[in-house]
Every structure is written in structure tokens, then in C-alpha cells.
Amino acid sequence: MKKIILTISIIFILSCESTTKSVETIPATKVLSPTAAAIKYYKDTFQWQNGFESWSKVPTTEDYHMLAPNLGLEAKGAKEIEEVIFGFVNETELKQELVDIVEHGNYITCFLKITTKTGETMDVVEVFLVDDDGKVKNIWAL
């Protein structure tokens, strides 16, 4: 019995020793849906002067809805989103830097660094809900 305990103890101790092997991460290959790719392109090439014109190339439902609670903005449908959301974008001369984009099921999440004309910066997350046809149905800017 003592030999069994001694043997198990030695095996346990040896198995707990640290390894000298280096740990390398394997970069993930991101294959985005056409809608996520369109959003990524829009974010990567964003210029406040032609924001809505560029955005209109992303597929959306007719009555898509956007909510930005921290900015007090909400709009539904292309015309209202152009007036309310992109009115704010033009007024503040908003600049966006896409930090990362993640797609999970029907959700596309963009991590952004936003800068206004006054130099104010914010870290923002935008979540897009896409319907079964690949069209943006809801957007939450948080």
C-alpha cells in the first residue's frame, strides 16, 4: 500500500512540473457573412461627410430601428435614421475607428473608438441584429 501511495505521489508531482514548451496562439480566421463584411467595409472606410450614403449600401429591412441610449438618439426607417442619426454624425463630425468585429449567429458586434470634432473620445459597442434574409433589423449603439 505504501508503494502504491509513493508511486502515485511521484507521478502526481512529476505531472505538475511546469513545461518549457512555448505557448503559441493560433490566429483565428474570420470569415464574415456578406452583411457583416458590408458593415466592416462601411466602418473601415467611414467618413462623416458621406456617412448615410455609405451606410445605405448595407442591407437593411425597411423599418430597421436604431437606438443609441447614451446619446439620447432613436430612429426607425431609413429616412428617420438619415435625419436623426446621421444628422448627429454630421453635427459632431464623428470619426469612427473599427477596433474589432465579431459575428455570432444573427448578431454582429462592432467595437469602435469614436472621436468628435471637439476631440472627445468614447469606446462604443454597436450590436446589429440581422434577420434570416441577412438584413439589418435592429442596431444598438452602446
Give the Å distances, CA to CA, from 113 to 7, 25, 52, 132. Answer: 57, 26, 19, 29
What pLDDT is recorded for position 4? 55
What is the full DSSP assignment across 24-46?
-PPPPP----HHHHHHHHHHHT-
Supply the pLDDT for residue 51. Answer: 87
Among the listed residues 68, 86, 89, 47, the one whose alpha carbon sits nearest the alpha carbon of residue 139: 68
Report the percent of the chain where pLDDT is more than 90. Answer: 73
Mean pLDDT of 9-35: 59
**Across residues 104-122, what is the average pLDDT?**
96
The answer to whether residue 88 scores a pLDDT higher than 60 is yes
Q: What is the mean pLDDT of the chain?
A: 86
For residue 89, the SS3 value is: helix
